[in-house]
Protein backbone atom coordinates (compact mmCIF):
# COMPACT_ATOMS: atom_id res chain seq x y z
CA UNK A 1 0.00 0.00 0.00
CA UNK A 2 1.37 3.39 -1.00
CA UNK A 3 1.74 6.39 1.30
CA UNK A 4 0.02 8.57 -1.29
CA UNK A 5 -3.47 8.45 -2.76
CA UNK A 6 -4.58 10.51 -5.74
CA UNK A 7 -8.33 11.10 -5.97
CA UNK A 8 -8.56 11.22 -9.72
CA UNK A 9 -11.00 11.87 -12.55
CA UNK A 10 -9.33 10.89 -15.84
CA UNK A 11 -11.66 13.18 -17.79
CA UNK A 12 -10.35 16.25 -15.93
CA UNK A 13 -7.30 17.97 -17.44
CA UNK A 14 -6.06 19.22 -14.04
CA UNK A 15 -6.35 15.72 -12.63
CA UNK A 16 -4.40 14.29 -15.58
CA UNK A 17 -1.74 16.98 -15.10
CA UNK A 18 -1.42 16.13 -11.40
CA UNK A 19 -1.04 12.44 -12.26
CA UNK A 20 1.66 13.30 -14.81
CA UNK A 21 3.51 15.41 -12.20
CA UNK A 22 3.53 12.51 -9.75
CA UNK A 23 4.79 10.17 -12.47
CA UNK A 24 7.54 12.65 -13.45
CA UNK A 25 8.62 12.87 -9.79
CA UNK A 26 8.73 9.08 -9.53
CA UNK A 27 6.20 9.05 -6.69
CA UNK A 28 4.52 5.75 -5.87
CA UNK A 29 0.81 6.35 -5.32
CA UNK A 30 -2.55 4.69 -5.44
CA UNK A 31 -5.19 6.09 -7.75
CA UNK A 32 -8.75 6.22 -6.52
CA UNK A 33 -11.25 6.84 -9.29
CA UNK A 34 -13.68 8.50 -6.93
CA UNK A 35 -16.51 8.75 -9.49
CA UNK A 36 -16.57 4.94 -9.76
CA UNK A 37 -15.55 4.36 -6.11
CA UNK A 38 -17.18 7.24 -4.19
CA UNK A 39 -16.01 8.27 -0.75
CA UNK A 40 -18.46 7.64 2.07
CA UNK A 41 -19.28 10.32 4.63
CA UNK A 42 -16.60 9.13 7.08
CA UNK A 43 -13.93 9.19 4.37
CA UNK A 44 -15.03 12.64 3.23
CA UNK A 45 -14.89 14.01 6.78
CA UNK A 46 -11.38 12.57 7.21
CA UNK A 47 -10.30 14.06 3.86
CA UNK A 48 -11.63 17.51 4.77
CA UNK A 49 -9.81 17.33 8.11
CA UNK A 50 -6.56 16.29 6.41
CA UNK A 51 -6.95 19.15 3.90
CA UNK A 52 -7.53 21.59 6.77
CA UNK A 53 -10.46 23.25 5.01
CA UNK A 54 -14.20 23.58 5.45
CA UNK A 55 -16.23 20.85 3.74
CA UNK A 56 -17.93 23.49 1.60
CA UNK A 57 -14.51 24.43 0.15
CA UNK A 58 -14.24 20.95 -1.39
CA UNK A 59 -17.45 21.46 -3.39
CA UNK A 60 -17.58 22.11 -7.12
CA UNK A 61 -20.30 24.75 -7.08
CA UNK A 62 -20.72 25.04 -10.86
CA UNK A 63 -21.87 21.45 -11.36
CA UNK A 64 -25.57 20.84 -12.05
CA UNK A 65 -25.62 18.43 -9.11
CA UNK A 66 -24.86 21.33 -6.76
CA UNK A 67 -28.36 22.73 -7.30
CA UNK A 68 -29.87 19.27 -7.61
CA UNK A 69 -28.55 18.50 -4.10
CA UNK A 70 -30.20 21.68 -2.81
CA UNK A 71 -26.88 23.31 -1.91
CA UNK A 72 -26.21 27.03 -1.64
CA UNK A 73 -23.51 29.33 -0.29
CA UNK A 74 -25.23 28.95 3.10
CA UNK A 75 -24.99 25.15 3.16
CA UNK A 76 -23.53 23.51 6.24
CA UNK A 77 -20.50 21.24 6.35
CA UNK A 78 -22.78 18.27 7.02
CA UNK A 79 -24.92 19.10 3.96
CA UNK A 80 -21.76 19.40 1.84
CA UNK A 81 -20.45 16.02 3.04
CA UNK A 82 -23.80 14.31 2.38
CA UNK A 83 -24.01 15.88 -1.09
CA UNK A 84 -20.49 14.75 -2.05
CA UNK A 85 -21.24 11.24 -0.80
CA UNK A 86 -24.40 11.13 -2.94
CA UNK A 87 -23.00 13.07 -5.91
CA UNK A 88 -19.24 12.33 -6.10
CA UNK A 89 -18.91 14.67 -9.09
CA UNK A 90 -19.30 17.53 -6.60
CA UNK A 91 -15.91 16.81 -5.01
CA UNK A 92 -13.12 19.08 -6.21
CA UNK A 93 -10.32 17.28 -7.99
CA UNK A 94 -7.61 16.25 -8.05
CA UNK A 95 -6.76 15.67 -4.40
CA UNK A 96 -3.53 14.08 -3.18
CA UNK A 97 -3.16 12.71 0.34
CA UNK A 98 0.08 11.61 1.95
CA UNK A 99 2.10 11.58 5.17
CA UNK A 100 2.53 15.37 5.11
CA UNK A 101 -1.18 16.13 4.65
CA UNK A 102 -3.40 16.66 1.65
CA UNK A 103 -3.71 19.18 -1.17
CA UNK A 104 -6.26 20.02 -3.81
CA UNK A 105 -4.39 20.14 -7.13
CA UNK A 106 -5.60 23.57 -8.21
CA UNK A 107 -3.20 24.34 -9.79
CA UNK A 108 -1.83 20.81 -10.22
CA UNK A 109 1.60 21.92 -8.93
CA UNK A 110 0.04 22.51 -5.48
CA UNK A 111 0.33 18.78 -4.79
CA UNK A 112 4.13 19.04 -4.86
CA UNK A 113 3.96 20.83 -1.47
CA UNK A 114 3.25 17.57 0.34
CA UNK A 115 5.80 15.31 -1.34
**Residues annotated catalytic, as ranges:** 12
Question: How many angstroms separate the CA atoms of 10 and 80, rounded?
Answer: 23
Question: How many angstroms separate the CA atoms of 111 and 106, rounded?
Answer: 8
Q: Which H, E and C letters describe 80-105, residue by residue?
A: HHHHHHHCHHHECCCEEEECCEEEEC
Handedness of CA 32, 41, 90, 92 (dihedral sign): negative
Residue 104, beta-bridge partner list: 95
DSSP state, residue 15: H
Amino acid sequence: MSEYTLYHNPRCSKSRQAKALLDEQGVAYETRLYLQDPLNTSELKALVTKLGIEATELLRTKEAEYKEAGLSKNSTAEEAIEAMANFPKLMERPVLTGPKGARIGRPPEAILDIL
